[in-house]
Structures are given as structure tokens and as C-alpha cells.
Structure 1
Amino acid sequence: MSRVGKQAIQVPAGVEININENNFVVVKGPNGELSFTFHENMEIKFENQELSVTRPNDSLRNRSLHGTTRALLNNMVIGVTKGYVKILDIKGVGYRAMLKDPQTLILNVGYSNPVEMAIPEGITVEIPKNKNTEVQIKGANKQIVGEFAANVRKVRPPEPYLGKGIRYRDEHVRRKEGKTAK
């Protein structure tokens, strides 16, 4: 049996879970509402504030879906209660970020023109005061938060010689030595 899939998910108070036909699951909580349609082979049960996933047999497909389904459900529960945060640091002389309006992020990262990025629905982007080299991306959906953070990082990934660029807060950039004089 799957080591991840067989573990039950403890659902905190204040979270409402609806399981409809065809495994369409809706999770509502203080941070919003998430919904997803899971594979019809997985059996999802919600009893006594515990969410569990079972599989019908031990076929390869069902074993692989078992742990994935449980992990996605756990991410939904965590998202509507605590939410997810990705913090990006911007390194470089003159590199900075700002918000034009609540739905547009502007990045000045060494190009001739600033890069404007539309912020997806369900995500909030914050730039702390007096610290325009830090971008905080927050939201309930782990996939959308991670995807938008990756797209922001892709605008100017960190380079190995000077370390300039956009990086995750906990990312380590391996530095290279430059040319040496003979």
C-alpha cells in the first residue's frame, strides 16, 4: 500500500468539504475555495473530520494515483487554512519591483524596458515598504503560486558570476570564478 496514500488527512475546524459524483471535491475555508476533479478509480471519504483515500486494487495505475490524490487533497486543505507563500529576492544594482495596480507587477531587472506581468486571479503579490527588492507571492492554490513564482524568476534567472537576478528566498546560487589574468 502507498505510504503517503494510506495516511488520513486531519481536517481542521472551519473547513468544509463536499464530495460530489465523479469525485468532484470542493474545499472551503477561511482563505477561499478550491475545487478539483479526481480520478474515478479513487474512493474519497470524509468522516469524523478525517479525509481518507482508498484504491480498488493494486494495479500500477491505481497505486500511482493513490498517493497523488492524497497529496493533492492535503495541499487543498492546507491552502484554504494557512495558504502558500513564495518569497523572491532581487539582486543587482538598480534591480527592483513595484506594483502598478493590484493586478500588474512591474520588474526593472536590467532590460531597456520594464517587464510588466499580469497577476493571476486568486493570487496576491506584496512588496514590503522600503524593500523593493523582495516580492511575496501568496495564495491558496499551491500550483498557481508556484507557477507564477517560477514565471517571475524566469524573467531574469540568477547568473553564476555576479549572482545578479531573481531567486527564491532559500535558493543557493553556485558561484563561478571569473577569468584569471595570466
Structure 2
Amino acid sequence: MQSSPTLRRPFARHAARSPRQRDWLFCALALCLAVLAAGLITPPAHAAENRLPEAQESRLRELARELRCLVCQNESLAESHAPLAADLRDEIREQISAGQSDTKIIQYLVARYGDFVTYKPPFNSRTLLLWFGPFVVLLLLLWVLWSFHRRGRPAARSAAAEEAMRETHEEFRRLKRQYGSDDD
């Protein structure tokens, strides 16, 4: 039983190439690897262009810690790796380089994205429940606990209740004497 040459040597057709073709393939492969390696090693060009002086970069980091990422679960802009967070950091960087103050930058972001972007929401009519809600819930829970505790204790009897109870016992004893006791 004789097998075909392609089954015995699966890469036989590639070996038949001339040395010149192999050299061209090797050069093309080396060039592709060099381009990929250069892309991985060098930072993006826009990262170097957008860098601020160190004092302003530290100001950017402080602002980014105070602001919430809009797409992440309770992460600050400084911690988030989301593309929107990077865009917001770039936006803050541009405003810092334009000379805007921290409050102006935060006001701009709140006007554009709402109060959710800040970790410290302002005290206004829309956020009253946010500020006072926990205290109201705590007071309600304390009231419920107090009312259950109060119901659990025997209530103090009034003088009228004591008198009614005494009269009931006397009536019971009188009826017991009159009709006799069935317990005997």
C-alpha cells in the first residue's frame, strides 16, 4: 500500500520554493513583526501631545478622583479604564490648559452630565431625599422599634380598670357561693 506524497509530507509544496522566494517571505515576515513590535512599544502620539506640566497633571488627578465615571460601577474617573472616562479626562485636561478653575470645570461637567458625575451632590430641592432620606428611614425604624417594645410591656392600669376588675372578681365569688362550686 503506497500513500500519496502529499500525505507523507504535508508541507512539501512549500519546500519546493526557490531560495529567493523564501528570502522575500522571510523579509516580509520580519517587517510585519517589526511594525507590530513598534506599535506595542511606542506610546500613542496623542498621549505625548496632551501632557500637561506636572502641577496641572496632579490637579487633573485630584479632579478625576472627585468625579464619577458615568459608565463604571462606582469608580472614579482616575480609576476607570473605560473609553468615556479617558475622554472625560482629556476634556478636563483641555479645560485646565485653558485656565479654567476647578469649580468651573465641575460646573461644566454637572451641566453636561448631571449631578451623578460628582461624588458630593449639591444640596438643592432635587436632592433633598438623598440628603435626608437616610435620617427619615432611621427615625421610622426607631419609632417602629419603640412601638413594638411599648406593646410588649404590660400597660399601666388605671384606677377605673382596677375598680372594674375588683367588681368582676366579687361578682364571680358571689355567683360561686350562690350556685356552688362544680370543682368539689
What TM-score range do you get, normalising by the shorter chain? under 0.3
Higher helix share: 2
Between structure 1 and structure 2, the one with the greater Rg is: 2
TM-score by length of 1: 0.21
Calculate the TM-score normalised by the size of structure 2.
0.21
Higher normalized contact order (CA 8 Å, seq sep 6+, divided by chain length): 1
